[in-house]
Chains A and B, each alone.
Chain A
Amino acid sequence: MDKPINNKAWLFVLPVLVLVAFSAVIPLMTVVNYSFQDTFGNNQFFWAGLEWYREVLSSERFHNALWRQFLFTGIILAIQIPLGVAVALAMPRKGWGVPVCLVLMALPLLIPWNVVGTIWQIFGRVDIGLLGYTLFNLGIDYNYTQDPLDAWITVVVMDVWHWTSLVVLLCYAGLVSIPDAYYQAAKIDGASRWAVFRYIQLPKMHRVLLIAILLRFMDSFMIYTEPFVVTGGGPGSATSFLSIDLVKMAIGQFDVGPAAAMSIIYFLIILALSYVFYTVMTNAGRER
């Protein structure tokens, strides 16, 4: 039976539309306006046309930041999703271990982003940090302030530490919703551990995995605070991701026009990739 359509429902959506207009649409319109103009402050603007877009698109600095951003997001997803699924599978389903594991998993998510950055900035220091000092005494030449590879490893490990819990909790929610009857049927059929995962657990986790991948993709693509606190985008510009580069341009250099053009391009990339991710994964789910 078809669901009845009641157009009065749109009235209930109106408050949200107003809120979104104030928090997202009007700022976005302003950024579009800025991206076609130049300003020296004092609310005075001069028409620049497509100049800032042309400048950003041909800028090596933007290309490098974009490449670093894709690399970072790819690494993050490649580590956090399998690791999150593995940890969720290993967590107990009943008993006292459940609340203990849940609290432990939730802890990193409760810490503010700048505090996470500060924790890892101190943790990695060779003179006073546990990690840096230990690695130094093991004879490993680790210095995230001077070595680009060390900076990358620190930022990636920090993000994995901070956000894998989210994937774990989402996957765990999917796993505990699977009725025992599925496992009993698999046991009767003599299914292997892998078969249970492939044909029962993974399909049941599909929707939460979709949410986890989308959230982690968008969050990691917009990452700013943690790497800014730990490395400040350095050494050099080794960890200057798109958002860090954008803030440097907009606030550090007060190049509002180019920064606005870069923001629009950045926004379009996120929008397109999120749409592709969402469409591919929801349709894969429907086919299954």
Chain B
Amino acid sequence: MSDKPIKRKMEETEEGTTLFNVPFPTELTPEALQSLKQMAPIIVKDPYSITYIHSYGQDSPWFAGLANKVLLGSRQPETGYTYATPRGHDMYTGKENDWVVLPQEGKVHAFTVCHFGSESFLPETPFVLVLVEFEGANTLLLGRMIGVDPNDASLDWIGMKVKAKFRRLSKFKPTDVYFVPAEA
């Protein structure tokens, strides 16, 4: 027995039937033309796909770091304010930041388990999102966490020590780094 509620609704899908024509008045009298206002809407499907040529620009070294098992952050050299994300310029001084190496261990600051998601991530549900805090950094980093049971979510996960792991075959995406419980 599962404690999940029993479904009472058939899943809706979007395969429709192709219509090559629809009924239309044969005599185009004023009444017939008026009756067109009662017609059901005609709905068509338009696929749309694009390949973007997207540059990471000044943030590129961060992705190169992940490909080489290095987690970079950004630091304002004068104030020491440190972002756990790539950021070319500091939001307080307006000056250029330097790259710094972040520790590969941190703590879970906040988390969720996504049981649904955007279309592109639906096949990966349930997945765990975490905001990670690092010693020496003033801000957080968003990432995925694996190695916990997504059906056993608990506030106790907050504060948990996690360590960074890296994909061996880089995709040059922020998911090239992910987090696992440090004690596992």
Q: Do A and B bind each other?
A: no
Which residues of A are at the interface with B, using a C-beta cutoff of 8 A?
A: none
Which of B's residues lie within 8 Å of A, judged by CB? none
